[in-house]
Structure 1
Amino acid sequence: MTHKMVRLGASLVSCVVLLHGCSSQPSGRYQQAHDSAPTRIPTATELQSATPVQEPLSRQGNQDYQVNGVFYDVMERAEGYSETGIASWYGNKFHGHLTSNGEYYDMYSMTAAHTRLPLPTYVRVTNLNNQRQVIVRVNDRGPFHSDRLIDLSFAAAYKLDIVGHGTAPVKVEAIEFLSPAVEHRYYVQLFASEDAQKISTLRDQLPKNWQAHATTQSNESLHKLLLGPLPQVEANKWLQQVRAKGFPNAFRVKITANSAEATDSNNQN
């Protein structure tokens, strides 16, 4: 989630006074316009790493999406994920509000936000400045800054000694469970319209190599032009290609056992 990270002073007590003094009036669905630090430090129990548990994917929060004109393609699996980047944290402003997978954000729980990892995913986060580690459960989307990799809860950031600095370089590694992998297949949706003739004409105008993969689907009054079905890796390649060549709003559609489930709710008219 988009927010401005605060920099704290030498001690948490003094920084809390400073931050509350700088808080703006409430705006939108949040009680304050800018983020701020909690009024207390985490307890010893709250500083314990999250215990990894193999969970099914959340019913929401796992669709491809767009924020501020940027497309985010949600990873199908977290196995093998390892990346270094900058971690930030979020606190009071978002405490008690819904996360992307429909849970309530608790800044004293060991959780985190990531733009692309499946929800939920357990990851090990290492502060590369001091080698401190913590395991957190990713249950939210963000941070939507090009120079940041992960947003940590206040408790996780406190354990890694990131709170006082606001950000830190980290390594993020997915906790893996031994389970059989399921390879899903996808469509790449190019366009949707209530005008069936428009879809047919547009299909005929596609490049020859695209037409070999093109298909149409109709759902009540909505007609769709798609490419596929395709394995995930190939679908990702086609997605980047079609976005660059005239279909900037194209997105993937995961094929489920019963139907094709769109992984983005945006339709073009």
Structure 2
Amino acid sequence: MAHAIDLPAPTMNSGFGRGLRGLLILGLFSLLAACASIGGGGPSDGGPAPLAVAPPPVSDPAPIVTGTMRPYQIKGRWYRPEEQPGYDEVGMASWYGDQFNGRPTATGERFDMHALTAAHKTLPLPGLVEVTNLANGRRVVLRVNDRGPFVDSRIIDLSRGAAEQLDLIGKGVGEVRVRYLGRAPRLGGGLLLQAAAPAAATPAPRQAVAEPPSTFWVQAGSFGDPLPARLMAEGIGAPASVSAASVGGRELYRVLVGPWPDANAAEAARQSVVARGYADAALISTR
């Protein structure tokens, strides 16, 4: 908004007149600054900013489950849970669903694959984390009530509901930022903070073409030599197979397990492959 203000000319050349005029000019600049702050705040192109809210404060935090704070060992590796108020890390996230639904978590709570929850190796339980999908900007607050994932390349395991909100279901894994917020409330705590920004409108195509359905595989390993690939496939057993592909002029032999028609079944298989000692197993999809 704009304001027209008439500044009266000083009627005398005294210091008082000069001071009065200075105060009036200062007041004008303050008023213009206030107007700018009221009308501003949107993106530079004038479009609406994506919805973003802050998580509400936790007034009645749940007590930390003391048994979950003891050092523990998985596959020969020790993990030492501790308070980490400055925890802020970027890494890969995976998700888990049907195969664990209804089972007890590390805190004793029942795992609900549709709730906004997660598993972490060392943060206090139960706690709250903010997770951001770096590929699309989606942000959620999750209740951390379980331990995992025990794969070096993953920093957090998401419930199916959390993966849906972050748009990671189809991919299986994705790069995220995880920030520890502190103690969780006695119940719940999950919250969608920011959805993806709306895409710009584009002209509709003249003819819609249906995309073929996705097919999901678990890639257990990749080798430059076919012999170790065959040995790994034999060690895993059916339905593992070796697939050759040329990448950058180099022949690679991938050990693939599957296929499955949906990501949830493939993720269950990936967890099974990881449990058998193939820690780098990854979920991939093709059309």
Q: TM-score, normalised by structure 1?
A: 0.46
Q: TM-score, normalised by structure 2?
A: 0.43
Give the number of the structure whose alpha-carbon radius of gyration is greater.
2
